[in-house]
Amino acid sequence: MLNRKTFFVSFFLRRDRVMKNGTAPIMARISVNGIAKEIYTQCRTAVDKWDPAKGRATGRDRLSYEVNAYIDDFRAKVIEIYRTLQAEGFEGNAIEIKERLKSPGKQVRMLLAELMLYCEKRQKEVGVRITQLTSNKYYRLCRYLHEYTRLEYKKEDIRLTEVTYGYLDGFNTFLQTAHRCHHNGAINILDCLRNFILYCLRNEWIEKNPFKNYKLKEVAPPPKEHLTKKEIEMLIAKPMPNLRLGNVRDIFVFCCFTGLSYVDVKRLYPSHIETTLDGRKYIRINRKKTDVESFIPLHPIAEQILAMYNTTDESNPIFPLPKRDMLWYCIHEIGIVAGIKENLSYHASRHSFGTLMLSAGVPIESISKMMGHTSIKTTQGYAKVTDDKISEDMDKLIKRRQEQKNNPGQSSVPSAVHRS
């Protein structure tokens, strides 16, 4: 059975809005496929000169003729808008017709089309106002929204005015199911969409903010997995059963003392190793993820590991890394062999670096520079304060209080702090 499209335009009086002169506003009811919207025609007429059945003025005076002519023109305008919308590829529903009537010259803006232009605008701001990582998030948002809109709405694009609370909530569910995003990951993507919606509001492309009642609240992430100093010592001391696991163990330990991620250690070449005037070696490399430079002085253990691998041939990377999946499997295996963890992952090496540096008393600003973070907040998340660090700080506090008690005349202001 064919689905027939229905389209009607009728007129009626708002009898609850009668003025003292006996006139009431003439309303147009636009109905498309059973969905109706009402709009004021900007015209009034006498209640006693209106035929509700015909939807027209009944008088034979000049004013009644003018009212009926106005109604005919209004009907013709509605029909023309309906046909124009369909020719432009729109559904031509009552909502779209009403919007076009209210703002005849207003451009109908589409979500994904405008979002792509916004992505291009943000890309031009890389290095000036935002990082490449942030720009990539907006392009990822665009890709996910396209998938979601095609899947749930069976359309290639939707109008900006169709982005409602329900659309946002459905998109959130889509991210956490179809793309297996964790709660905070989905919130991060939705936050980019919220920024775009605010941009649309500032440009007066939309009137309502769909995020007004849609709250984006992150949950506290679980503690980052890391190894203790003792566990790293156990991993170094434990003989590996074969060369493959021995190489992976070396690379993992190297990253525990440098904080390099998998993608960065994979692209680490001899030219990234530099030497200071006093002979101290260090790594200088831009992180793949953030394009922020990492400056990492080499720990003696990292130097020892480095000396066993390629430090001269610039045509090859320093370490012979297996593919990511194989590396993850091997790291899991060396954790079992060393007897430290059954679920050891590569990420633990980078997290261990941040934690070890913090425990050693390295300032968090320096740790942030070594890890190539764009924000101190990120470093605070990686550099988990250990029990040893807390105990050490408490011991220092007790010792300082005891010294003050023994020397009551001594100022409690640390010597490094200067008063103006």
Instruction: Look at 101-105, 182-186, 202-206 and tell me which has the smallest mean pLDDT.
Output: 101-105
Which of 105-109, 132-136, 166-170, 224-228 tops mean pLDDT?
166-170
* Contact partners, residue 70, CB within 8 Å, separation at least 6: 41, 43
CB 257 within 8 A of CB 235: no
Percent of the chain exceeding pLDDT 70 equals 88
* Contact partners, residue 24, CB within 8 Å, separation at least 6: 13, 14, 15, 17, 18, 44, 45, 47, 50
Mean pLDDT value across residues 176-190? 88
pLDDT digits 0-9 by tens, 80-97: 988 888 887 777 777 778
pLDDT exceeds 70 at position 107: no
CA distance 356 to 330: 23
pLDDT interval class at 146 (50, 70, 90): very high
Average per-residue pLDDT for the chain: 84
pLDDT value at residue 412: 40
pLDDT value at residue 10: 94
pLDDT value at residue 392: 61
pLDDT digits 0-9 by tens, 124-142: 998 888 888 889 999 999 9
pLDDT value at residue 125: 92
pLDDT exceeds 80 at position 225: no
pLDDT digits 0-9 by tens, 283-313: 998 888 777 788 888 999 999 999 999 888 9
pLDDT value at residue 142: 95
What do you get for the CA distance between the two ends of the chain, in Å? 87
Mean pLDDT value across residues 314-326? 88
For the chain, give the secondary structure using H, E and C: CCCCCCEEEEEEECHHHCCCCCEEEEEEEEEECCEEEEEEEEEEEEHHHEECCCCEECCCCHHHHHHHHHHHHHHHHHHHHHHHHHHCCCCCCHHHHHHHHHCCCCCCCEHHHHHHHHHHHHHCCECCCECHHHHHHHHHHHHHHHHHHHHHHCCCCCEHHHCCHHHHHHHHHHHHHCCCCCHHHHHHHHHHHHHHHHHHHHCCCCCCCCCCCCCCCCCCCCCCCCCCHHHHHHHHHCCCCCHHHHHHHHHHHHHHCCCCCHHHHHCCCHHHEEECCCCCEEEEEECCCCCCEEEEECCHHHHHHHHCCCCCCCCCCCCCCCCHHHHHHHHHHHHHHHCCCCCCCCHHHHHHHHHHHHHCCCCHHHHHHHHCCCCHHHHHHHCCCCHHHHHHHHHHHHHHHHHHHHCCCCCCCCCCCCCC
pLDDT value at residue 413: 38
Mean pLDDT value across residues 177-203? 91
State how beta strands 273-275 and 281-286 pair: antiparallel
Q: Please compute Rg for the chain using Cα positions.
A: 34
Per-residue tokens: 28: 């147009």
In terms of Cα–Cα distance, which of 66, 71, 74, 25 is closest to 46?
25
pLDDT value at residue 105: 66
pLDDT value at residue 343: 78
Which of 7-21, 94-108, 340-354 tops mean pLDDT?
7-21
pLDDT digits 0-9 by tens, 238-279: 999 999 999 999 999 999 999 888 888 989 999 999 988 888
pLDDT value at residue 152: 92
pLDDT interval class at 360 (50, 70, 90): confident
* Contact partners, residue 396, CB within 8 Å, separation at least 6: none
pLDDT value at residue 215: 84
Residue with tokens 């990292």: 302
Percent of the chain exceeding pLDDT 90 equals 39
Domain boundaries, the chain: 7-102, 111-202, 229-388
CA angle 147, 142, 200 (to 5 degrees): 125
pLDDT digits 0-9 by tens, 54-83: 999 998 889 999 999 999 999 999 999 888
CA distance 38 to 273: 72
Among 3.30.300.30, 1.10.443.10, 2.60.40.1120, 3.40.50.720, name the CATH number for the domain at 229-388.
Answer: 1.10.443.10
Helix axes 229-237, 347-359, angle to 10 degrees: 130
* Phi, psi (degrees; rounded to nearest 5) at 188: -60, -40
> What is the identity of the amino acid at 193?
L
Mean pLDDT value across residues 335-345? 83
Instruction: Look at 218-222, 237-241, 332-336 and tell me which has the smallest mean pLDDT.
Output: 218-222
CB 180 within 8 A of CB 189: no
State how beta strands 23-32 and 7-13 pair: antiparallel
Mean pLDDT value across residues 162-186? 90
pLDDT interval class at 143 (50, 70, 90): very high
Mean pLDDT value across residues 159-172? 91
pLDDT exceeds 60 at position 382: no
CA distance 328 to 346: 6
CA distance 333 to 339: 10
pLDDT exceeds 60 at position 208: yes
CA distance 82 to 96: 9
Mean pLDDT value across residues 196-212? 89
CB 293 within 8 A of CB 285: yes
pLDDT value at residue 2: 45
CB 364 within 8 A of CB 380: yes
Helix axes 94-102, 62-87, angle to 10 degrees: 120
